[in-house]
Structure 1
């Protein structure tokens, strides 16, 4: 008894229709599929983002005619020379110092929170942790800043609470500190620092928590078995292994503070930060070349920051 088997083609024949032929092409040529998937985002990054940065860089090599106020489209370094003016140097130094202080404070505040979440929180408590960290990110950025403006105001809830606790003399003493003080927390560098720290803290906690979860518990236990006290284990075991997370979080907090102009505009003194200066020169003053040159400053700073982080091996375990 013979059984006759129906033969099937090894490869499907081309189907009619434009969409069907396009689908067959993607199946036969994975490189075309990869190009279709990655083409739009790469084009967006290359044309829109990098193209705008290139246009900004080109604008920074022009200058403003002091008599007419018109842009002179001639290649010059005059605009970059204006960055060395005391006023602009003060703005750059103030912004970089605030970004550095906010980043250091965020590391100090986020470290115990991230360590507890990575080592001791589990199940429902870990869900509560993620909810508590992510919840502030779900609300409007402007709403949070204006809420802090009211909290830190002279008639705000923070001042009211300190007065009930009899701590107003301490607050007055802090506000009397030169440069960083003011009439109230809402018009001082202290208030600006507190709002920056609150807004960007989740961007520090999450990378640090993810990095600490990858640290084997056995290494910490082995360090204790070798006679190391908790401080030695922290310095020589935990910190080096958690460094990639710290660097990743610091990239967010430092760069976001460096370029922000809304928080200093709403909470803080009248002294400008880089973002405010760029906004003022680009809009009110109409000095687009100087605004472009000021914008190049944080780009260069972040370039050196990334270079230094790579030199110390912070990206090796990312």
Structure 2
């Protein structure tokens, strides 16, 4: 009986053989398993590139991978309790019903005058000559000047719209190279009208839009870019008002189903436009140059 108990209590040992390749196999290191004291060599691109400038060399900076801390969904739902030492006790004034006077507060905010747009004078070699020119127009307290990073463009910030207009008139009359932006109060609200025939009478369209509360500055028919044929699209410029967005709600115009939508921005580069972007080309008074080579537009003739 005792011998049987001894045989049952003795554990059985199993021998396992480990192959040698399990210890000699190379292990691939990932970014997370690399040691912290390892130094990554900086990679240079200017050695093998023959077209690279000798004065320029780009390098990849060393970057360490940061571990993103993740929280379990159970801990995210738990709100932190605020440790407040004082507790508010709700109170009620029993004499509030005796107060019949209504508290009147003036919530009217004073409207701020619109700020003028800055004026950029290009190719400035002598700032004193520009300052003397501004003295002929206004005083020193009516504007602020600063020089941009390029070093040859001076930014003039007028104090109000009147000073802005007087400076622009003087620069245009004296043929001073500069550019600016249209005032926000003068910018038209442009929309695209789809669905009208190209032969539609624009004066009648203006009257219909005026009856709906929209004052139209101009309506221009859109033509094909290459064929120059009229298309069933119109550019409608509205006077800036608070109800300009209501024009998108109009679905019918002169017994025709139409669609009003915002215009698309031009993405192509226009050759020889004198650095004039489509949105402010009328406010640019710089000499005409080719945008591809920087020379005058007729240099190839």
TM-score (norm 1): 0.18
Q: Which is higher, the Rg of structure 1 or of structure 2? A: 2
Higher RCO structure, 1 or 2 (CA under 8 Å, sep 6+): 1
| Structure richer in strand, relative to its length | 2
Larger helix fraction of residues? 1
